[in-house]
């Protein structure tokens, strides 16, 4: 198993993050990007959060190929999203998958996704049981970046949704386009696929 195909299991959920490159061809990525820029179809009725039901064929194609084995809770399309650092869930066994559809981004364009240690606030520390960042734990007062992923064309990143994350600003005139899926292991409805590089087990 390569560095890009890390087994996402264990008690310390801050280590549950990985990425994969090369899933999509250049032609596929170009087509997906064009669809994303146009926005979701009218079937979604102009919703910002597109919900758990996928209604566009191209989004379903992507999800079928990147789903790490979870039940979909919501999905959305973001372009150059600006946000402060946040957590995507407060409970265990929820996962975020971000797929970068921009065909021409380079590292110098910025826009990286940063995953941070969950010790930035007291609330985060309270959620950080079984990690080195909980209250009175070894690294309670040592906040740091766990991992940074630049939005390489076609890259997708999977991480445990309690991990604090932030999308850094794009530093060029290019547009970062991301398809974001949020899912849960608790109500798993998808058969485990042993060929999938991302394997999840329930974490307390």
Cβ-count burial 17-38 (b if 16+ within 10 Å, e if not): bbbbeeebeeebbebbbebbee
Lowest mean pLDDT across 56-65, 122-131, 188-197: 188-197
How much is the pTM?
0.85
The confidence band for 48, taking pLDDT boundaries of 50, 70 and 90, is confident
pLDDT of residue 166: 94
At residue 198, the pLDDT reads: 55
Mind listing the pLDDT tens digit for each residue in 188-201?
A: 344 445 555 555 44
pLDDT recorded at residue 196: 54
Q: What is the DSSP letter of 142?
A: -
Tens digits of residue pLDDT in 133-181: 999 999 999 999 999 999 999 999 999 999 999 999 999 999 999 999 9
For residue 154, what pLDDT is reported? 97
Higher pLDDT, 72 or 80: 72
* Token code pair at residue 141: 């007062």
Tell whether the model's pLDDT for residue 62 goes beyond 70: yes
> Quick count: other Cβ atoms within 10 Å of Cβ 129?
15
Are the beta carbons of 101 and 36 closer than 8 angstroms?
A: yes
Q: pLDDT of 10-31, one tens digit each?
A: 468 999 999 999 999 999 999 9
Instruction: Please tell me the predicted confidence (pLDDT) of residue 197.
Output: 53
* Dist CA 149 CA 88 (whole Å): 17
pLDDT category, 43, cuts 50, 70, 90?
Answer: confident
Confidence of residue 93 (pLDDT cuts 50, 70, 90): confident
Q: Which domains does the chain have, with CATH numbers?
A: 14-184 (2.60.120.620)
Average pLDDT, the chain: 85
Structure token pair of residue 61: 């194609």
Kindly tell me the sign of the dihedral angle through the C-alpha atoms of 185, 181, 144, 146.
positive
Cα–Cα separations (whole angstroms), residue 35 to 46, 101, 102, 194 = 15, 10, 11, 30
Beta strand residue intervals within 10-88, DSSP E = 17-20, 71-79
Give CA–CA dist 29/52, Å, rounded: 23
């Amino acid at each position: 198993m390569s560095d890009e195909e890390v087994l996402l299991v264990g008690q310390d959920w801050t280590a549950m993050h990985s990425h994969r490159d090369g899933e999509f061809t250049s032609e596929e990525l170009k087509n997906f990007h064009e669809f994303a820029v146009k926005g979701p179809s009218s079937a979604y009725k102009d919703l910002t959060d597109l919900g758990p039901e996928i209604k566009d064929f191209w989004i379903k194609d992507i999800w079928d190929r990147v789903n790490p084995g979870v039940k979909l809770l919501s999905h959305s399309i973001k372009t150059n999203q600006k946000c402060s650092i946040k957590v995507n869930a407060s409970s265990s066994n929820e996962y975020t998958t971000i797929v970068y559809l921009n065909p021409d981004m380079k590292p110098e364009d910025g826009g990286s996704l940063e995953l941070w240690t969950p010790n930035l606030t007291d609330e985060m520390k309270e959620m950080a049981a079984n990690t080195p960042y909980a209250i009175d734990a070894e690294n309670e007062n040592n906040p740091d970046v766990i991992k940074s992923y630049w939005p390489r064309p076609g890259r997708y990143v999977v991480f445990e949704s309690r991990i604090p994350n932030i999308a850094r600003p794009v530093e060029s005139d290019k547009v970062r386009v991301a398809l974001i899926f949020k899912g849960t292991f608790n109500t798993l409805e998808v058969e485990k696929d042993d060929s999938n590089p991302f394997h999840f087990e329930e974490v307390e």
